[in-house]
Chain A
Amino acid sequence: MLYAQPENLLNAPMVPDKMKSAPTQKNPPLSDKNGAITFDDLLVAVGKTGNRDAFIRLFEYFAPRVKSFLMKSGLTQEMADELAQETMLAVWQKAAQFDPLRAAASTWIFTIARNKRTDYFRKDSKTQTETIESVAPEDDQPLPDLALSLQEEERQLAEAIDALPEEQASMIRKAFLEEKTHADIAAETGLPLGTVKSRIRLALERLRYHMGSPQQEGTA
């Protein structure tokens, strides 16, 4: 199915959804609750109807961030650009698996970028990395009232990350963004491995409050 001529879309100015008047017939209107469209909504639109406008907007926001993320682990501009394109292609292909009740768009796109990076660096290219959705598709059905709090959880998590002492935050950034193991971080910073581990542990401890209460966990 073809939705629109890419060239036309490229030339069309991108406008916020609220201002958008008539979406093309083949691109059904994006859901517009309370006038605010989130990246989650855009990703759902891509997954459900293959909405290209939504995809382009996701691309314009996330691709440059994914590229930046990939460059932090030492990829060249060109390679990072290529992998970011691959990441966004995978976003398109897997969008139907995205469930906004379980993860935010940024989380989901991060996992895909991370997996692309792993596949790029790994020698054994046959091994496939997966998102949690493909590991455990049917289970963990979230309760509706919990879903409301996901965005709130994300917001609190962001605040908690900002509030971390720099010595802890820098460890977390090195691990997540620069693809460094604890041993790598110890070697790079000259800190003892035990110190690196305890700082990361402290940071995780501070951030885990934003996971929701233990009662919300599935039964083990």
Chain B
Amino acid sequence: MTRMNQHTEILLMEYAAGVLDDASALLVRTYISISPEARRYVRHCEAMGGQLMERSCTPVAMAGDSLKNVLQQLDRLEQATCQTMSRTHCADIRFCRQYNLPEPLLAYLYEHHRTGRWHPFARGMATCTLTSCKDTNGMAMIRMAPGARAVRHTHRGTEITLVLEGGYEDEYGRYEAGDLVIADAGITHQPIAGPKGCLSINVIEAPLHFTGHLYKLLNLFAR
């Protein structure tokens, strides 16, 4: 597993500060659920946030009835029966069980009733859209068969990849399950799946730009 680099640290810090878009935040949550090192770093950044809140935020008096109001709500909470979150809503439980997906990702799929439908978009490759917000970054899961070669492409925006199973390599390195890869805008690369294939989640900041020809269809992948 590769060590965290500066880009990763900044991403984790932005997560701790709460400034990431939904898709990137979900990816980071998934990452910290599988990486103790990342978890530790996020904790450290959150401790910074706690210190800053405690020391740099001049207290502003709460409205007179705030505490009373909260205490009254506590009474109501104590009387209410405990509600446990039910996960029967997942539209496709088989999909969720098919892969050993990390907990935050599963929780997201359950909550959003995602069906997890795979769309093939190239030989040996399929994608499954996870988020659908039009105005924020999108997230997709990408599956590559063993040895599958992606089309050579470049990025107009940052692409964050979290490898969940298997692995892949490109011109810049070899990545395995648990690795987080941040590809800056302008990088051109050709990912090739390893012998076990590759399952990853990807946050794409802007549409990919394919450098090959006749690959307009692949915008499906980039959307």
Contact = CB atoms under 8 A, between A and B. Distances in A.
Interface of A: 1-2, 6-7, 9-10, 50, 52, 55-56, 59-60, 63-69, 71-72, 77-78, 80-81, 84-85, 88-89, 92-93, 102-104, 106-111, 113-115, 117-118, 122-124, 126-130, 132, 135-136, 139-140, 153-154, 157-158, 161, 172-173, 175-177, 179-182, 184, 197, 200-201, 204, 207-208, 210-211, 217-220
A6 B70 CA distance: 10
B14 A181 contact: yes
A147 B14 CA distance: 26
Nearest to A55: B74
A106 B40 contact: no
B37 A132 contact: no
B146 interface: no
In the A-B complex, the 10 residue pairs with the closest CB atoms:
A218-B36, A64-B59, A107-B50, A106-B50, A6-B71, A68-B57, A110-B50, A114-B18, A68-B60, A110-B49
Contact of B46 (A63, A107, A158, A207): A107
B187 interface: no
A114 B111 contact: no
> Among B67, B78, B108, which residue has the most Cβ atoms of chain A within 10 A?
B67
A65 B54 contact: yes
Interface of B: 1, 6, 9-10, 13-14, 16-19, 22, 25-26, 29, 32-33, 35-37, 39-63, 66-75, 77-78, 103-104, 107-108, 111-112, 133, 178
Contacts of B19: 175, 179-181, 184
Which secondary structure characterizes the binding site on chain A? helix
Nearest to A107: B50
A153 B46 CA distance: 13
B68 A10 contact: yes
